[in-house]
């Protein structure tokens, strides 16, 4: 299984901003990981806050962005996004790579939505994606995957629990350090499936206006066998 490249997440983001006539300057990225998408954001001359729970991932991001964009306006925050606290209001907040599937329960997702809402300026946008229930159950299931790009390689074993619609990912990651060497990480991740109906309901209860839900890096509607759902919402 090949994960979509980061340039497609950036393309989705840029198209959404263009469609809305938005020209954000202050942007937060939730679940920024090792900064692969952050680089694309910085190339648009934005001031970016990269937020992640993993100190190891943030250290890799800091080193990588320091090499590629030494003069960029970027800030790194180690936070649980259920308790998001940003130093200023943002024009836009993005959260891709199925970050919200890592939130273990509905209350946690609602907390994220509430903190994002509070962190945005009026008219600000929130863009995020999630693995669909179909992908959690049918694509991951009980499978093994391998992946490699210029920044990271991993071996990935998934175990699905249909009683609670969760999947456990046992990952061994090798992250490039820039000198021909790789740093090894062993991580155990848990993800949960959330129905699109529930996500729409919680967004509405928070106060967001739903602008679009699309599938798999396209402008098409989400179907039964779609693997990713992309949300574009706005704070009134």
Domains 6-132+194-234 and 135-191 share a fold: no
pLDDT for the residue numbered 179: 83
The residues near 139 (Cβ < 8 Å, ≥ 6 apart) are 1, 227
Task: Give the distance from CA 48 to its chain's centroid.
Answer: 14
Residue 2 in this model has a pLDDT that exceeds 70:
no
Q: Topology of 135-191 in CATH?
A: N-terminal domain of TfIIb (2.20.25)
In this prediction, residue 151 carries a pLDDT of 81
State the Cα–Cα distance between residues 193 and 133, nearest whole angstrom: 5
Mean pLDDT over all residues of the chain? 94
Give dist(CA 229, CA 216) in Å, integer. 6
Domain 6-132+194-234 CATH (choose: 3.40.50.140, 2.40.10.10, 3.50.50.60, 3.40.50.150): 3.40.50.150
Q: What is the mean pLDDT of residues 227-233?
A: 98
The per-residue pLDDT for 189 is 87
pLDDT at 29 over 60: yes
Query: What does the domain layout of the chain look like in residue ranges?
Result: 6-132+194-234, 135-191
d(CA 55, CA 13): 26
User: How would residue 187 be classed by pLDDT, with cut points 50, 70 and 90?
Assistant: confident
Please tell me the least confidently modeled range out of 63-77, 81-95, 169-183.
Answer: 169-183
Looking at residues 53-80, what average pLDDT do you find?
96
Residue 49 pLDDT > 90: yes
What sign has the CA pseudo-torsion 42, 149, 64, 90? positive
**Mean pLDDT, to the nearest integer, of 11-36?**
97
pLDDT at 1: 38
Per-residue model confidence as pLDDT tens digits over 189-200 = 899 999 999 999
Condensed to tens digits (0 to 9), the pLDDT of residues 96-150 reads 999 999 999 999 999 999 999 999 999 999 999 999 999 999 999 888 888 888 8
Greater confidence, 171 or 90?
90
Contact 65, 39 (CB under 8 A): yes
Q: What pLDDT is recorded for position 20?
A: 94
Mean per-residue pLDDT, 55-64: 95
With a CB cutoff of 8 Å and minimum separation 6, the contacts of 171 are 154, 155, 156, 157, 185, 186, 187, 188, 189
Q: Binning pLDDT at 50, 70 and 90, where does residue 3 land?
A: low
């Amino acid at each position: 299984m090949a994960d979509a490249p980061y340039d497609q997440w950036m393309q989705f983001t840029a198209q959404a901003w263009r469609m809305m006539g938005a020209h954000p300057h202050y942007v937060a990225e939730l679940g920024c990981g090792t900064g692969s998408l952050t680089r694309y954001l910085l190339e648009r001359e934005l001031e970016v806050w990269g937020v992640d729970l993993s100190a190891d991932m943030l250290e890799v991001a800091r080193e990588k962005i320091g090499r590629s964009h030494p003069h960029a306006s970027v800030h790194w925050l180690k936070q649980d996004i259920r308790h998001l606290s940003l130093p200023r209001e943002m024009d836009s907040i993005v959260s891709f790579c199925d970050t919200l599937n890592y939130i273990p329960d509905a209350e946690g997702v609602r907390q994220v939505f509430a903190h994002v809402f509070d962190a945005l300026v009026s008219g600000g946008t929130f863009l995020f994606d999630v693995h669909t229930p179909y992908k959690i159950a049918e694509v991951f299931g009980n499978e093994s995957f391998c992946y490699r790009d210029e920044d990271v390689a991993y071996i990935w074993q998934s175990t699905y629990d249909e009683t609670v619609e969760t999947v456990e990912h046992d990952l061994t990651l090798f992250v490039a350090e820039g000198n021909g060497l790789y740093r090894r990480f062993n991580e155990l991740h848990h993800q949960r499936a959330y129905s699109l109906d529930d996500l729409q309901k919680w967004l509405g209860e928070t106060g967001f206006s739903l602008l679009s839900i699309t599938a798999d890096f396209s402008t098409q509607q989400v179907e039964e066998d779609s693997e990713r759902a992309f949300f574009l919402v706005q704070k009134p």
